Homo-oligomer: A and B are copies of this chain.
Amino acid sequence: MRHLMSPLDFSVEELDHLLDLAHDIELHPEKYAHACEGKKLATIFYEPSTRTRLSFEAAMLNLGGNVLGFSSAASSSASKGESVSDTIRMISCFADICAMRHPKEGAPMVASAVSSIPVINAGDGGHQHPSQTLADLLTIRSLKGRLDHFTIGLCGDLKFGRTVHSLVRALARYEGVKFIFISPEELKMPSYIKEEVLEANGIPYREVERLEDVMSDLDVLYMTRVQKERFFNEEDYVRLKDFYILNNQKMELAKDDMIVMHPLPRVNEISVEVDKDPRAAYFRQVQYGVYVRMALILTLLEVKVC
């Protein structure tokens, strides 16, 4: 039995199979409409995350399966002091597969060690959120046609953003991917990622402070939010914040076939005027998230569809 804790749990070859399956699901949803009939997904969310929870639930319902669970710790037995290990043993009696969200790093790993059903890490603190990374990879592959030989700009909070760390690690396994990190000094990509993941493997990257300066080089722009409270002082925030807000003016500098991604929810880091631009891919990214979670559920449950 197999769990999903990190996006690197799958080899590049396994990932290819998974993304192929997700693509086939997009093309032929009816083939998969009864694939999980009689099976149940538990969504065990110790903190709320509507988007991730509903994406998993939609995925399981699209496969003909059913869903149960809880959406916040308040409505769970965690409030009675039960350990994650005991909870997953209980959930194993109620469901065939489980997606777990937890504010503490490593909680899903602890669960997977005693679980008798596959556990998917649906986000553990600032640590990992592998199904988001799978959705990002499927979006790039579907809209750009490949996962190698392109330039990706990651923009905003690169220090604390779990999503961008995972994506860098995942893309570093493909050939010819160039990284441009666009962030204020305070929110730069951590050294351990630059050194261990990129430099150690001879993967090129650049670091810049202004989005405009690199816009024309990008095949993919991955936006994230810059939160005011992450800055050292008010002046820096005021001076820098506009560099990290994407609008139509900045989009004019970009290639015609660039795509803009965002893990959502966005607040104001992408102006709503960009939504109408055909290069805006962040809502399609949500749809790809459903397809890739369908593929993930099928893979972990070892359900084959002919």
Chain A interfacial positions (CB closer than 8 Å to B) = 33, 38, 40, 42, 48-51, 54-55, 57-58, 61, 66-72, 74-77, 79-82, 85-86, 89-91, 93-95, 264-267, 272, 283, 286-287, 289-290
Copy number in the complex reads 3
Task: Provide the bound-state CA to CA distance between A50 and B54, in Å.
Answer: 19
Determine if B48 and A74 form an interchain contact, defined as CB atoms under 8 angstroms apart.
Answer: yes
A54: which B residues are within 8 A, CB to CB? 42, 68-70, 90-91, 94
Residue of B nearest to A79 (CB): B48
CB within 8 Å for A58 and B95 given contacts A72-B74, A74-B72, A286-B90: yes
Determine if B72 and A287 form an interchain contact, defined as CB atoms under 8 angstroms apart.
Answer: no
Determine if B72 and A68 form an interchain contact, defined as CB atoms under 8 angstroms apart.
Answer: no
Residue of B nearest to A283 (CB): B89
CB within 8 Å for A89 and B50 given contacts A61-B68, A71-B75, A72-B74: no
- 16 A–B contacts from the bound complex (CB under 8 Å): A48-B74, A48-B76, A48-B79, A50-B75, A51-B77, A54-B94, A58-B68, A58-B93, A61-B66, A71-B75, A72-B74, A82-B265, A82-B266, A82-B267, A86-B265, A89-B283
Residue of B nearest to A47 (CB): B75
Determine if B283 and A90 form an interchain contact, defined as CB atoms under 8 angstroms apart.
Answer: yes
Residue of B nearest to A268 (CB): B81
A198 to nearest B CB, angstroms?
A: 30
A89: which B residues are within 8 A, CB to CB? 283, 286
Determine if A80 and B265 form an interchain contact, defined as CB atoms under 8 angstroms apart.
Answer: yes
Determine if A38 and B33 form an interchain contact, defined as CB atoms under 8 angstroms apart.
Answer: yes
Q: Which single member of B67, B80, B93, B290 contacts A93 (CB below 8 Å)?
A: B290
A142 to nearest B CB, angstroms?
A: 14
